[in-house]
Amino acid sequence: MSLTVKIILDTRRIKMRTEKFPVKLRIIECGRTRDFQTIYDLSKGEFESFSAKKIKGNLQTIGENLREIERHATHAAKQIMSFDIADFERDFVYENQYFRPRKLKVKVVGKSAVEFDYSPYFGRFPLFSEDHSRPGCISRSYLAYIKKCCRRIGLAMH
């Protein structure tokens, strides 16, 4: 699984009143990109100054906070067994003090994963009967993906 977490300056949008750009946390997962807006707005010069050795005043605090956001986001993304951007948003971004508040996008699913009957798929996928108790085992990710696909197919048939 390819996962990239980084802080970017979104130069596509400029705030006319302050002439600054929003700073965002970018998550790239298997070719899908999602940006989450932080509470910080910076000019191009301010954002580029983070690579300098000496930063003074308020910019130093902002730089430390942005590095902390990136570090914690990377750690949080690695903790999610089968990474999903919606799960990451719910667990890390939602109600985080460093991100602009926004409505949480809720996935609508007819039946929950617990209620879904996987028994018709046991014969087709031997992975259902294998042991997946070891943390970090890649078969857990495969099993989660297969269950997700089975739920989609099962819900589409009804």
Place 122 in a pLDDT band, splitting at 50, 70 and 90.
confident
Report which of 146, 93, 150 is spatially closest to residue 120, judged by C-alpha positions: 150
* Range of weakest confidence among 16-25, 98-107, 139-148: 98-107
| Structure-block tokens of residue 83 | 């990474």
Q: Distance (Å, rounded) from C-alpha 50 to C-alpha 47?
A: 6
Rounded Cα distance between 34 and 58, Å, is 28
* Whether pLDDT at 6 is above 90: yes
Mean pLDDT of 54-75: 87
Q: Give the per-residue pLDDT at 107.
A: 53
